[in-house]
Copies of this chain bind each other. A is one copy, B any other.
């Protein structure tokens, strides 16, 4: 596998991990007693999950649009990491970590 291919594979995997952790986090936030203070977190998790899903798919199919999509995805991940990072819940901390890793790899891919 070339370096370019293995970078692409790592970014696809980061998007899929992030998608899974955002879905889990959004649902966990919606099941808490204090939903009110998690509202922004839920919104950003939804956007991030959706963006990661499409980004992973465009990369998997080697679409010519994948770089542009990686740019939007990095933005969605940053926004989600910034909000989730404020909350101490395990699911929020794990989600923020996945988002930060995904943002970094997407940003390199978009460059």
Contacts and interface: CB of A to CB of B under 8 A. Distances in A.
Contact of A72 (B24, B35, B46, B72): B72
A7 interface: no
A53 B69 CA distance: 14
Q: How many copies does the complex hold?
A: 4
Dominant SS at the A interface? Answer: helix
A58 interface: yes
Interface residues of A, number: 39
Interface of A: 12, 16, 19-20, 23-24, 26-27, 30-31, 33, 35-36, 39, 42-43, 46-47, 49-51, 53-54, 56-58, 60-65, 68-69, 71-72, 75-76, 79
